[in-house]
Chain A
Amino acid sequence: MSARVLLAEDEENILTSLTFLLERAGYDVSVETEGPKVLKAALSTPPDVLVLDVMLPDMDGYEILRRLRASPATERLPVLMLTAKGQREDRETALRCGADLFITKPFANSEIINAIGELAEKRLQ
């Protein structure tokens, strides 16, 4: 059975490219574009890996992550955070909130596929 990846991203074109890449890599991909819906989807059916953008409408990625870490069902859910802000404080905030990995935009496709592969493998072990 292929690993399930939830893509939480509000940029339509980035979603298109990531969906293509992940499907080609054999993942089962679902998509959410609004903060509260991401939280609801991740809590109701936890994916194997969550790719979480920081800037999302109505609830940012940091807040979503804090709430996920507070719930027993998702406290250990592997999360890769994506952001266009590459400053050190953003990285520190992401890691403090409980992100497993942190990648800044623009990214190389191989970078993101490798990171998701690493997290999925860890989840399935």
Chain B
Amino acid sequence: MESSILGTRIRQRRREIGTTQAELAQKVGISPSYLNLIEWNKRRIAGPLLGKIATALDISLSELDDVSERRLSITLGEIAHLPALAGVQVEEERINELIGRFPGWARGVASLARSEREATERAYMLSDRLSNDPFLSENIHRILTRIAAVRSISEIIYEYEDIPDDRRREFDRIIYEESRTLSDVAEALAVYLDKAAEDEKVFTPVDEVEALFEHHGNHFSEIETLSEILAPEFAGMNLRQERMRARELVTTRLGETIDRIVGDQAKISTHAGQNRARDLLTEYAVAAATLPMTAFREAAANARYDIETLSAEFACDTDIVCQRLTALPESDDTPTFGYFRANAAGTIIRMLRLERLPVPRYAVACPLWVLFRAQQSSDVLFRQRAIFPSGARFVFVAKAVSQGKVGFGAPRHFVTDMLAMSEEDSFKTVYAPDDDTRLEEVGPSCRLCPRDTCQHRVTDPLTDN
């Protein structure tokens, strides 16, 4: 599926201002048939032609090429394959038309699917909690035991008429005591469950923050500009001092800017989401101050985007380099990068998306990605030339690094960082494959992958293309 809905917006805008295809095509110097292909999203456009069309339509580039709509298109594409929609004839090829013509409905569907996913996650979490939580297990045991005593004694009182007075009084006392204990246990349980309901929300802020970064194309120009100004203030310091000073300066001088960016994103509704967004933007600003974009961009191009070379040159960890690479401003000769970080359990814990790379929002990713394989040998950089079922080709480079406390006896935990780029873009980098480089078949996730014979499949595909 073509992910861009640029064409639909061009068509809509052209109609709004009462221009024909032929007139617009003539103005921007292309044939009407080519414009027709663009308007029906059959051809991708960017760069100067996009600028000319925007000018001819009297509309800004950002209005025409809306990142949030592209994200919505990807999300609806994933929703089309949800199990709940299996058997329903969803017109996946008309998603962009839906977004263009009925944007409110499109956002509504995405919002409903998001609510459904959150509810499912919550159900799984509660189910886990019911099965494994020692507090719940202990208290349910206590409740059942108390109820057993109350029920048995009350049945005796009801069914036996000849109970001696002293026994009857003893039974009354038991019911009284057990009822009081039961009441206390039930109250403690209710308080506990209330607290658990509050804690559940920890799942959603990750999505909220991811949306913020995508909305900005992983690049915050205001933070870049302000951070670059800070750089001279820690010149001459050693690395450790430099990082500490950068953090101090970012917190004191960029705090308001970061708060405003977070506040402008209406979708970050939870405190946990706002805190996470502030933390990650602070990290972004510290990286921007210590690896200023002007210098980093030039060094990156000279090193042909070799993350290990850049890591040595700027004396920082590879994850910082990867994140800076995703923030490179768009230009024709600069590759566009995505970044992923996974923990040892295979959970993707950080994601700066790459357009057209199908990462399932509603399922775990394909285990064949080098992101997961790289943990087999830490500190070794792996490259993977990957082909997806759609035929789209990407190059991934991944490296597992240890994280957390070090020292003898301390357990070692690894996370894997992965930089992703289209194969086309990889030719601008040191990671360009040659003809002998093995092309590995991967997918987004089993559910969305049609490769029937894949021996790593764990669930049936829902696609039949």
Interface residues, chain A, with chain B CB atoms under 8 Å away? 11, 13-14, 16-18, 20-21, 24, 55, 84-86, 104-109
Q: When A13-B174, A17-B156, A20-B167 are in contact, do A106 and B151 touch as well, CB less than 8 Å?
A: yes
Q: Out of B140, B141, B167, B178, name the residue touching A13 (CB < 8 Å).
A: B178
Contacts of A55 in B (CB 8 A): 141
Q: A84-B145, A105-B145 are in contact. Are A17 and B160 (CB under 8 A)?
A: no
- Per the bound structure, the CA–CA distance linking A104 and B167 in Å amounts to 26
Roughly how many angstroms separate A81 CA and B85 CA in the complex, as a whole number? 47
Q: How far is the CA of A50 from the CA of B167 in the complex (A)?
A: 25
Tell me the bound Cα distance from A58 to B55 in angstroms: 83
- If A17-B171, A109-B152, A109-B156 are given as contacts, then 12 extra A-B residue pairs at C-beta distance below 8 Å, sorted by A number, are A11-B149, A13-B153, A16-B153, A17-B156, A18-B152, A20-B156, A86-B144, A105-B144, A106-B148, A106-B152, A108-B151, A109-B159
> For the complex, what is the distance from the CA of A104 to the CA of B153, rounded to whole Å?
16
Complex: how many Å from CA A24 to CA B151? 18
Is there a chain A Cβ closer than 8 Å to B155's Cβ?
Answer: yes
Asked if B156 contacts A21 (CB within 8 A), the reply is yes
Interface of chain B: mostly helix, strand, loop or mixed: helix
Known: A24-B160, A105-B147, A106-B147. A17 touches B141 (CB 8 A): no
Do B148 and A107 touch across chains, with their CB atoms under 8 A apart?
yes
Query: Do A14 and B149 have beta carbons less than 8 Å apart?
Result: yes
Q: Mark B153-191, 1 if CB is under 8 A from A, else 0.
A: 101100110000001001100100110000000000000
Classify chain B's interface size: 20 to 34
Tell me if A85 and B141 are in contact (CB < 8 A). yes
| Nearest chain A CB to B403 CB, angstrom units | 36
**Which residues of A sit under 8 angstroms from B178, Cβ to Cβ?**
13
Residues of A within 8 A of B160 (CB): 24
CB pair B149–A17 under 8 Å, yes or no, is: yes
Q: Is the CB of A108 within 8 A of B155?
A: yes
B152 touching A14, Cβ below 8 Å: yes
- By a CB distance below 8 angstroms, the chain B residues around A84 are 140-141, 144-145, 148
In the complex, A107→B159 CA distance in Å? 15
A13 to B333, CA, bound (A): 81
Contact (A17, B153) CB under 8 Å given A24-B160, A85-B141: yes
A105 to B167, CA, bound (A): 23
Q: In the complex, how many angstroms separate the beta carbon of A5 from the nearest chain B beta carbon?
A: 16
Q: Chain B residues near A21: list those with CB within 8 A.
A: 152, 156
A14 touches B148 (CB 8 A): yes
| A35 to B160 Cα, complex, angstroms | 32
Which residues of B are found within 8 Å of A104, using beta-carbon distances?
144
For A17, A24, A55, A108, the residue with the greatest tally of chain B CB atoms inside 10 Å of its CB is A17
Kindly identify which residue among A11, A13, A16, A109 contacts B155, using a CB–CB cutoff of 8 Å. Answer: A109
- Given contacts A106-B151, A108-B155, A109-B156, whether A16 and B174 have CB atoms under 8 Å apart is yes
How many Å lie between the Cα of A13 and that of B153 in the bound state? 8
Q: 16 A-B pairs, CB-CB below 8 angstroms?
A: A11-B149, A13-B149, A13-B153, A13-B178, A14-B149, A16-B170, A17-B171, A20-B156, A24-B160, A105-B145, A105-B148, A106-B144, A106-B147, A106-B152, A108-B155, A109-B156
Query: Which residue on chain A has the smallest CB distance to residue B152?
Result: A17
Residues of A within 8 A of B174 (CB): 13, 16-17
How many Å lie between the Cα of A108 and that of B171 in the bound state? Answer: 17
Q: Which residues of A contact B147 (CB under 8 A)?
A: 105-106
> CA A16 – CA B166 in complex, angstroms?
13
